[in-house]
Amino acid sequence: MVDPVTSLTANVRSIEAGAHVTAAAFLGAVPVLALGDGTVIIADPGEERRIAVHADGSILVAVRAGKHLITGGGDGRVYAIGANAVIEELADEKGKWIDALVGRDDFSIAWSTGRQVRTRDPKGVVKSFSAPSSVRGLAYAPKGYRLAIAHYNGATLWFPNTAAPTETLEWKGAHLDVAFSPDGRFLVTSMQENALHGWRLADKHDMRMSGYPAKTRSLSWSADGHWLATSGAEACIVWPFKDKDGPLNKAPRECGVRPAKVSRVAFHPKALVIAMGYDDGWILLCRLVDGAEILVRCPEEEGQDPVSALAWDDAGTRLLFGTTEGKAGILDLPA
C-alpha cells in the first residue's frame, strides 16, 4: 500500500517578489505577479522579468482578462500587460485611485473610481455609469455583457450596451466584493459587517450568510457552481449552492481548520479541491469530498505574513501564490 502524500512543499519553487503581492495569474502557461510597488513579475522558470508598469504609483488591483494582466494603480491609470512584456495603457483617470477591476476572457474590462464605473469592450468602446455610492466590487455575468456593481445598501446590475434600465438589489449595509455563480443563478457579495449576502436572481430572494469573525475578502466558486469557498474564519467556509434555494436553511462545510484565519481561497478549475492561504503564510489543499488535506507551504519563521494572492493555471497542474511581505512561489503538482 502506498502511503498518502501529505506534503507537497518539495514541489514548490520560490520567487522573491520583494513587495506586497497584489494579485497572481497565469497568462496561458506564463505565471505573472502584480506587486504593490507598481511592478509586474513575469515568472518564467529561470527567466524572471521585472517590469515597471505604474512608475509613479502602486498596483492597487489586478485581474486577468484573456491573454493579458490588467492592473489599476494609485496613479489612476489602467494598463494591460501581455506575457511578452508589452504594456498598453487603457485608461487614465487623472490620479484617481482605481478601486475595483474586473476582466473577461474576451478582453472586456471594467473599473471604478469612487462612484464612477467604466467598461471597455474588446473594440475599445468605453461606457460610463454613476453608482449610488462608492463602488468596491465589480463582476461580469457569465453570459451576456452585464455588470454587477457592489456599493452601499446593495448591488446594481447594468447592461452597458443597451438602454435597458439598471436593476437594483437592495440590502442595508456596505457591500464589498461581488461574484456571480457560474450558472448565473445567484449573486453574492461580501460585506463590511463580517457576512455575505446573496440574491437568487430569478426572484431577488435574499440569502444571508453570517457567523464570520472577520471580513470575507476572497470568494471562489467550484467549477460546477455547486459550492462557494470563502475566507474570513479559522477555516475555509464552503456554502452549498447546488439546489434552487442555494444555502437557505443549510449549514456550510468547514475545510482546513487551523489557529489562523484563511486570507485567500481558490477552487481548483476542474476538481473539488480548494487551495487555502492563511494569515500566517501557510497554504493547504483540501479535497472537499472527504476533507483530506495536503500541505503546500509552511514558512520557517512564525508570524503574520498573510497569503494575498492565489491562482491556478487553466489545467489545474500549477498553483501560483504570493504574500503581503513579498514572498511568492509556484507549486507544480506531481503527475
* Phi-psi category of residue 302: left, alpha or beta, with phi > 0 → left and psi -120 to 50 → alpha: beta
Report the distance separating Cα 321 and Cα 74, nearest Å: 23
pLDDT in tens, 84-104: 999 999 999 999 999 999 999
Quick check: 2 pLDDT over 80?
no
* Rounded average pLDDT over 113-122: 97
234 and 258 Cβ atoms separated by less than 8 Å: yes
Quick check: 255 pLDDT over 90?
yes
Neighbours of 89 (CB within 10 A): 10
User: Torsions phi, psi of 11, nearest 5?
Assistant: -95, 10
Let me know how long the chain is: 335
Report the distance separating Cα 83 and Cα 67, nearest Å: 7
* Rounded average pLDDT over 211-221: 96
C-alpha distances (whole Å) from 223 to each of 27, 143, 181, 229, 274 are 19, 15, 10, 11, 11
In this predicted structure, what is the pLDDT of residue 221?
98
Report the distance separating Cα 276 and Cα 286, nearest Å: 8
Quick check: 297 pLDDT over 50?
yes
Quick check: 218 pLDDT over 70?
yes
User: Torsions phi, psi of 158, nearest 5?
Assistant: -130, 130
Q: What is the mean pLDDT of the chain?
A: 95
Whole-model pTM?
0.95
HSE-up of 196 (CA within 13 Å, CB side)?
29
Quick check: 131 pLDDT over 90?
yes
